[in-house]
Amino acid sequence: MISVAAQHTSSFKSQQQRYERVRTAYSEKENAMLQVLKDKNIEVSSMDILLRAYKQESELELWAKNKKDKQYTLLKTYKICASSGTLGPKRKQGDIQVPEGFYVIDRFNPVSNFYLSLGVSYPNASDKILGVKGALGGDIFIHGNCVTIGCLPISDDK
């Protein structure tokens, strides 16, 4: 499971909109996403986000809630359009596995080779205990395109 609690901030948005890809994504997707949030009574200014990925089903779910709410609401489900490895955890660099566990989105790369990459905080504490010491790898992302060697691609249009 990949989770992230994020509050929409104008400074983050304005910083990211310096990049053409981000401006394009906002112009193409923002109104539709704001409507989904409105329909689900989610306030952008008080929103927590949870992403949940399923390897076998090749799905990435987007959940959100208002900070004051106790339960998340499913907003969208995205098809993971390519996969690598097999079911089971990532234990070392180069094993082409997608990590399994709890992670946070720890970075955003608007100039990645793969459209609008969201970095996953792999390795987590469990990975560091159970994985190959000194050779865990990293740079796991949720991104566009439909190629992967351990990431979760959902295509550029999503």
Considering only CA atoms, which of 59, 63, 66 is closest in space to residue 75? 63
Known active-site residue 81: no
Known active-site residue 143: yes
Q: Which tokens belong to 153?
A: 């691609």
C-alpha dihedral sign at 108, 112, 117, 120: negative
- What b/e string do you get for 65-77 counting C-beta neighbours within 10 Å, with b at 16 or more? bbeeeeebbebee
CA distance 130 to 149: 20
Catalytic residue among 8, 81, 146, 151: 151
Contacts 24+ apart (CB under 8 A), 84-88: 84/148, 84/149, 84/150, 85/150, 87/55, 87/56
| Residues designated catalytic | 143, 151
